[in-house]
Amino acid sequence: MQLEVGPRAGRSVGGAVVIFDCNGVLVDSEPIAARVAAEEFARAGFAVTPEIMSRFFTGRRTADMCAAIEAATKRKLPPNFASVLAAATLRRFRTELRAMPHVAHALTWIRGPKCVASASGIDRIRVSLEATGLLRFFEPNLFSATNVARGKPAPDLLLHAAEKMKTKPRDCVVVEDSAVGVAAAVAAGMTAIGYVGGGHAGAQLPKQLTDAGAKAVIADMRALKGTIVALRGW
């Protein structure tokens, strides 16, 4: 398996595709999202801290997060809570969000097919990438877990992305920052690389990603090229 690099780069050989999570991998969004979610839950009368949001819901769909909190508290959120939370998050992203350090360097090197597969809705994915100047690397290959039956750690989203990219799961490398995301990649039969360079990454995250099945863990996007070559020989 090879990934063509250099003057003639621009296509992959043999159907190889790199699938990126968005939040916490391409953009340093998790600390912002956790704070906004905690604020909105507080307004709705639910005492949830940013730390709880990061610990239990990183990589999860909003719908799954809301269902879990309702089940834990045995209370119902307001009917429009998800839309209110989404709007508040997008407002903050437009002014505060930043790309991960050196991610543009990594994306420039990966000239072959690549896509984004995120638990977020498509609007949030697009705003995140537009605000950080990264949309040009992926459009139109943006895939949201809102369009599949099950969110991570189920493999549905990643299998959907592989199908849309016209490649086989075994030819995909997935870059993820959460244990549920890595578990989804493993369940899909893909190679997972863990990333721990985000603002939400704690001391335990590398082990959590490895335990979930990541074949390698990196803290700097400049190491992504060498890691893919070492794992797959592309």
Is the pLDDT confidence value at 4 over 70?
Answer: no
pLDDT value, residue 13: 32
User: What does pLDDT average to over the chain?
Assistant: 89
Domain assignment of residue 206, given as a range: 2-29+97-232
Q: Are residues 126 and 212 in the same domain?
A: yes
Residue 224 banded pLDDT, cuts 50, 70, 90: very high
What CATH number is associated with residue 67? 1.10.150.240
Residues 23 and 34 both lie in one domain: no
Does the pLDDT of residue 59 top 90, yes or no? no
Domain final residue, candidates 44, 75, 96: 96
User: Are 103 and 205 in the same domain?
Assistant: yes
Res. 174 pLDDT band, cuts 50 70 90? very high
Based on the domain organization, do 24 and 34 belong to the same domain?
no
Place of tokens 């899909």: 188
First to last CA, the chain: 5
Does 201 lie in the same domain as 117? Answer: yes
Q: Do 23 and 43 reside in the same domain of the chain?
A: no
| pLDDT higher than threshold 50 for residue 9 | no
Q: Are residues 48 and 118 in the same domain?
A: no
Q: What is the pLDDT of residue 15?
A: 56
**Of residues 1 and 92, more confidently modeled:** 92
Cis (ω within 30 of 0) for the bond into 140?
yes
Q: Could you say which of 48, 75, 96 is where a domain stops?
A: 96
**Which residues, 6 or more positions from 95, have their beta carbon under 8 angstroms from its beta carbon?**
none
Say whether both 115 and 201 belong to one domain: yes
Going by pLDDT thresholds of 50, 70 and 90, the confidence category of residue 232 is confident
Q: Backbone dihedral region of 189: left (phi > 0), alpha (psi from -120 to 50 degrees) or beta?
A: left
pLDDT at residue 1 above 50? no
- Are 209 and 125 members of one domain? yes
φ/ψ (deg, to 5) at 204: -85, -10
My answer on whether 6 and 108 are in the same domain is: yes
Domain match, 117 and 227 both = yes
**Domain co-membership, 71 together with 157:** no
The total of structural domains in the chain comes to 2
pLDDT in tens, 18-30: 999 999 999 998 8
